[in-house]
């Protein structure tokens, strides 16, 4: 068999790409190692930027999201027992959407496979890429019955996330820049209603704590911990005691507690692959750039890449226009580096107070004071937190 585009990975990047290609009547095959039920239930992101939602809407992919997503208009820093609310919508006229990643993935799979008739194989194994530096690349894989297949393609889209295969076949000259924050986060999902109407950032000498509403019954929390820490060191009681302490303020009741349904340790690190293409292979999303969830940017970048790559592939396959493909990597990396820089800035704000270094703690306090006291500084923060609003 032959497909103009083979997409490796059915996350937000691969599925958004497949949907746009199908809408332009371009055949593609999506290959995914996990089962459909697994990817539809995998909890991760929640915060989507307004331009990304508009981008999904313009491509007919945001119907459920617009009906069900919450709109967030502010965030709140908590430190020294006091609350500092940052009303980013007032400052910029823009807001965030909160729509859990499993719901978005469910919508995108259904639209791609069941509505637009796109081909997709779940539970594939041993995906290998061939002839990427030729005009006729191919992908081979083993299906769920153990049968091996070879699929020829014009292009391969590497959308297989931070632990996929496509990044590993890049040539030596590809540059991978890495940044390790030296910090761990215990990522938690609690069966508990949110304790505030917005995201809370607790900046505390014991470490950062975050509160991210996901739905009326589920809240994501983060607790800074040593990198490589064992989640078993964090029984339910210890988790809630730390969250209560790090997010405590004088004029609000304690957090509403609940059963923890996810508990994993993330060692915060980022990496960026440059360029994001090699021959007939184009990387998109976490496969090209991992962004620790510090500033809630990863899924947004994945969608940005997918929109640009889809437009570029359509221009080439329909009209022979190579400009989009030629400029793809640079166009994506502009936003990637912008978001990387903001994540690094925000990491300093979150982790300075607990770094054990009084100098870093002091500069962090100064940064936060500036944010709270200067509407201009707050506006600049809001612009970056909400993301580059250029349409895609
Ligand atoms: P994904 O979602 O990882 O999808 C890749 C898919 O490829 C499959 N795969 C393979 N398929 C075929 N062959 C192989 N060899 C394969 N290897 C892997 C995988 O099974 C998977 O289905 O990558 P994509 O599409 O690039 O999307 C990226 C986002 O998922 C990621 O950036 C976000 O989840 C990051 N992130 C957040 N981003 C935001 O924009 N806002 C947030 O609020 C936010 N919160 C988060 C997050 C990530 C988190 N974790 C778990 C790191 C919160 C957390 C806790």
Which ipTM value was assigned to this complex?
A: 0.97
Domain with CATH 3.30.9.10 in the chain: 181-268+355-386
Which class in CATH covers the domain with range 181-268+355-386?
A: alpha beta
Whether the pLDDT of residue 90 is over 90: the answer is yes
Q: Which atom of ligand 1 is nearest to 292's Cα? A: 52
The CB of 107 under 6 Å from ligand 1? The reply is no
Q: What is the CATH number of domain 2-71+96-178+270-346?
A: 3.50.50.60
Domain with CATH 3.50.50.60 in the chain: 2-71+96-178+270-346
What are the structure tokens assigned to 55, written together?
């981008």
Helix axes 375-386, 358-373, angle to 10 degrees: 100
What is the C-alpha to C-alpha distance for residues 81 and 265, in angstroms, rounded to an integer? 27
Distance 253 CA to ligand 1 centre (A): 35
**β-sheet bridge partners, residue 30:** 7, 120
Residue count of the chain, please give it: 392
The CB of 160 under 6 Å from ligand 1? The reply is yes
- Reported as a single tens digit per residue, the pLDDT across 144-202 is 999 999 999 999 999 999 999 999 999 888 999 999 999 999 999 999 999 999 999 99
pLDDT for res 218 = 94
- Reported as a single tens digit per residue, the pLDDT across 283-327 is 999 999 999 999 999 999 999 999 999 999 999 999 999 999 999
Contacts for 53-59: CB closer than 8 Å, 24+ residues apart: 53/97, 54/391, 55/303, 55/304, 55/307, 55/391, 55/392, 56/16, 56/303, 59/16, 59/19, 59/20, 59/23, 59/307
CB 191 within 8 A of CB 217: yes
Whether the pLDDT of residue 277 is over 90: the answer is yes
Sequential DSSP letters for 246-269: HT--TTSPPPPP-EEEEEEEEEEE
Distance 352 CA to ligand 1 centre (A): 28
The CB of 297 under 6 Å from ligand 1? The reply is yes
The CB of 158 under 6 Å from ligand 1? The reply is no
Whether the pLDDT of residue 391 is over 90: the answer is no
């Amino acid at each position: 068999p032959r497909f103009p585009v083979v997409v490796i990975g059915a996350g937000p990047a691969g599925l958004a790409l497949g949907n746009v290609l199908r809408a332009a009547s371009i055949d593609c095959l999506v290959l995914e190692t996990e089962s459909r039920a697994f990817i539809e239930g995998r909890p991760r992101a929640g915060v989507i930027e307004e331009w990304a939602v508009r981008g999904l809407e313009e491509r007919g992919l945001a119907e459920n999201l617009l009906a069900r997503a919450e709109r967030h208009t502010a965030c709140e820093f908590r430190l020294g027992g006091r609350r500092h609310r940052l009303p980013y919508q007032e400052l910029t006229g823009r807001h965030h959407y909160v729509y859990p990643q499993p719901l978005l993935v469910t919508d995108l799979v259904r639209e791609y496979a069941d509505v637009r008739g796109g081909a997709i194989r779940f539970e594939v194994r041993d995906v290998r890429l061939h002839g990427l530096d030729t005009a006729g690349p191919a992908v081979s894989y083993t299906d769920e019955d153990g049968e091996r297949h070879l699929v020829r393609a014009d292009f391969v889209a590497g959308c297989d996330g931070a632990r996929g295969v496509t990044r590993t076949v890049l040539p030596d000259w590809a540059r991978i820049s890495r940044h390790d924050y030296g910090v761990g986060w215990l990522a938690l999902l609690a069966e508990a209603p949110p304790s505030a109407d917005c995201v809370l950032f607790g900046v505390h000498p014991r470490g950062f704590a975050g509160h991210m509403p996901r739905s009326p019954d589920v809240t994501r929390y983060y607790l800074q911990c040593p990198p490589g820490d064992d989640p078993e060191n964090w029984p339910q009681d210890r988790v809630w005691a730390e969250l209560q302490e790090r997010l405590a303020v004088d004029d609000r009741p304690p957090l509403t507690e609940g059963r923890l349904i996810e508990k994993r340790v993330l060692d915060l690190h980022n990496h960026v692959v440059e360029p994001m293409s090699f021959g007939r292979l184009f990387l998109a999303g976490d496969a090209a750039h991992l962004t620790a969830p510090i500033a809630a940017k990863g899924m947004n970048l994945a969608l940005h890449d997918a929109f640009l790559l889809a437009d570029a592939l359509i221009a080439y396959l329909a009209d022979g226009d190579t400009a989009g493909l030629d400029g793809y990597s640079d166009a994506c990396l502009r936003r990637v580096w912008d978001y990387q820089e903001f994540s690094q800035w925000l990491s300093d704000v979150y982790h300075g107070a607990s770094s054990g270094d009084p100098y870093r703690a002091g500069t962090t306090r100064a940064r936060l004071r500036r944010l709270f006291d200067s509407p201009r500084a707050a506006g600049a923060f809001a612009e970056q937190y909400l993301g580059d609003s250029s349409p895609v």
